[in-house]
Amino acid sequence: MAIMGEIPEKNYFRIGEVSRILAVQPYVIRYWESEFRSVRPVRTRSDQRLYRRRDVEELLAIKKLLYEERFTINGARKQLQRRGQAIPPPGEQDREILRKIESGLRDIKAMLA
């Protein structure tokens, strides 16, 4: 069983699992989902929510902003937007690495064809 705040090593989580990780009720998670566009779980054919690891990480950040840092919903939303903008865009070095990876993948594809 996961300790609060510790995310188990898996890719998808049901709302009950997320609820235990965050130590909040499922309705709180559904409410945050409606307020924060950065949390968008995948829906199964039976309409169950499956949260990705990054969704759970985002929910942990939201909980910290609301419960520990005492932000309002609007304040937490703005704070998350600021944090998202702080990530620098890919630089030339990153583009060069991506070009090399793409070239390598094309070579592998040609070998397999």
**How do residues 85-106 score in pLDDT, each as one tens digit?**
554 555 666 777 888 899 999 9
Burial-class residue 77 by CB neighbours within 10 Å (0-12, 13-18, 19+): middle
Q: Using pLDDT thresholds of 50, 70 and 90, give the confidence band for residue 67.
A: very high
At 20-65, the pLDDT tens digits run: 999 999 999 999 999 998 899 999 999 999 999 999 999 999 999 9
Domain that residue 81 falls in: 12-112
Task: Read off the CATH number of the domain in which 73 is found.
Answer: 1.10.1660.10
Q: Are 88 and 102 in contact (CB under 8 A)?
A: no
Burial-class residue 28 by CB neighbours within 10 Å (0-12, 13-18, 19+): middle
Is residue 7 one of the residues assigned to a domain?
A: no
Q: How many domains does the chain have?
A: 1
Is residue 41 one of the residues assigned to a domain?
A: yes
Distance CA 26, CA 19 (A): 6
Is residue 5 one of the residues assigned to a domain?
A: no
Which two tokens mark 93? 């070095």
Is residue 2 one of the residues assigned to a domain?
A: no
